[in-house]
Amino acid sequence: MVDYLLTEEQKMIKELCHKIALEKIKPVAAEYDEKEEFPWPIVKILADSDVCGVYIPEQYGGMGAGIMGMAIATEELSWGCGGIALAFAATGLGTFPILLFGNDEQKKKYLPVIASGKKLAAFALTEAEAGSDAGSIKTTAKKDGDYYILNGTKQWITNGGEADIYSVVAITDKTKGARGATAFIVEKGTKGLEFGKKEKKLGIRASATREVIFTDCRVHKDNILSREGMGFIVAMKTFDSSRPGVAAQAVGIAQRALDEATAYAHQRKQFGQAISSFQGIQFMLADMATQVESARALVYSAARMIDAGSKDIAKVSAMCKLLASDTAMKVTTDAVQIFGGYGYMREYPVEKLMRDAKITQIYEGTNQIQRSVIAMNLIKELAKNK
C-alpha cells in the first residue's frame, strides 16, 4: 500500500466509507443495477453517517474535509458501486456552485440541508445540442421584474427528478456570448419545473438520469449564483473542483476491478494450478495495480492542491480526470479478460465494473475536452513564461 499520509479525519472517512461500501452497498449493487432503481436506502445511510456533508464546511453542518475528503469518500463508495456512489458525487457537483459562488444567505439556506443528507442536489448544464460545446446552450432566462423566467430543456441530468436543489445555467443575454449566461438555484416544486422520463443507460444504472424541463419557470433574482453573466465561469470553476470527484469514482471502480481480478486469479484453477501462477496473468495484474495507484496519486494531489487554495487547478484537475477514467476503462476491461467467460456473465461482478467505468471517460467533460484543457494550459504557461 502506498502511504498517502492521510490525516486522522481522512482515515476516518476512508474507513467508514469503505465499511458502508462493503457492508451496505456491495451486497445490493447488482440488484440496483438490474432494477435501475434509485438507491434511497443507501442515501439514508450516507445521511445518517454524516457522509453527505464531508466536503461542506463545518459552519454549514458539514465535516469541512474539503475536496480531498470528497475524493476519498467517492472513491470508497464507488468501490461498492459506481452508480450508487453517484447519488452522493452528483450532489457534490450540484453543490459546488453554491459552495464556490453562493452568497451567505444562499449558503445558509442550502448547504445545511445538503450536509445533513435531507436533500440531494444536481447540476443542470448539458442540453441536447450543447454537450462539450457548453456555449451553445439554448435554455433562456428572461428578466421580468424581480424574477427570471426560464424556458428550455436540460438533458442527462444526474440525480434529475430525485434531487431537490438544482444549479442551472441559462442564457440571460444571447448577445453577450460567453458573458451572457447566468447560474440559478432552482428548487424542485417550483412551478414550471418538470422532469422527463428516466434514461436507460449502459452503466451506473442505479443513478437517475433525466431531462430537467423548464416551462415559464419563475425564479427569483435572489436565486442567482454570483451575478448575471457569470454562468459559464460558475460552470467552469465548478468543474475544476468537481473533476477530482469523477476521477475518484473512476479510481474506486478500478480498484474494485483489481481486487476482484486478483482474488479470482488466485482461486481459479486451470491446467491444475491457480491462474495467478501464470506470468501472463501476473503481468496483467501488476500493470493494473500500477495504473490504479498512479491514478490515485494524481487524484489526491489535485484534491490537495484545490484544498490548499491553489489558483492553477484547471490543468491538474483535467489530468487526474483523464488519467483515472482511462485507467478505470483499461483496468475493468482487463479484469473481465482475467475472468474469461465468467467475466462476461452478469452473475459475476466485473462486467458491471466495465460498464460503469465507461461513463467516467465521458461526463463532466469528455476525455477529449480534458486533453484540450490540458493543452490550452500548457500553451498558456508557455506564453506566460516567455
| Catalytic annotation, residues | 364
**Between 69 and 203, whose beta carbon lies closer to other proteins?**
69
Strands 181-187 and 224-225: what pairing? antiparallel
Sole window of 45-53, 173-181, 348-356, 371-379 interacting with other proteins (rule: CB under 8 A): 45-53
3-state secondary structure of 124: strand
Which of 247, 334, 321, 353 is CA-nearest to residue 289? 334
Least distance in angstroms from the C-beta of 267 to other proteins:
6
**Between 189 and 341, whose beta carbon lies closer to other proteins?**
341
Fill in the amino acid letter for 55. Answer: Y
**Between 50 and 194, whose beta carbon lies closer to other proteins?**
50
Binding residue for other proteins (CB under 8 A) from 6, 14, 36, 49? 49
Total residues at the site for other proteins (CB under 8 A)?
20
The helix (run of H) or strand (run of E) holding residue 92 is: helix 82-101
Least distance in angstroms from the C-beta of 198 to other proteins:
24
**Residues 74 and 19 sit within 8 Å (Cβ to Cβ):** no
For the chain, the straight-line distance linking the first and the last C-alpha, in angstroms and rounded, comes to: 41
Which of 71, 89, 78, 81 is CA-nearest to residue 6? 71
- Paired with 165 in beta bridges are 121, 187
**Between 23 and 287, whose beta carbon lies closer to other proteins?**
23
362: contact with other proteins by CB under 8 A? no
Binding residue for other proteins (CB under 8 A) from 54, 122, 183, 314? 54
The rounded distance, in Å, linking the Cα atoms of 22 and 63 is 22
306: contact with other proteins by CB under 8 A? no
343 phi and psi angles, rounded to 5 deg: -65, -25
3-state secondary structure of 148: strand
Mask 60-89, x = binds other proteins (CB under 8 A)?
Answer: ---x--------------------------
267: contact with other proteins by CB under 8 A? yes
The binding site for other proteins (CB under 8 A) comprises 8-9, 12-13, 16, 19-20, 23-24, 27, 31, 45, 48-51, 54, 63, 267, 269
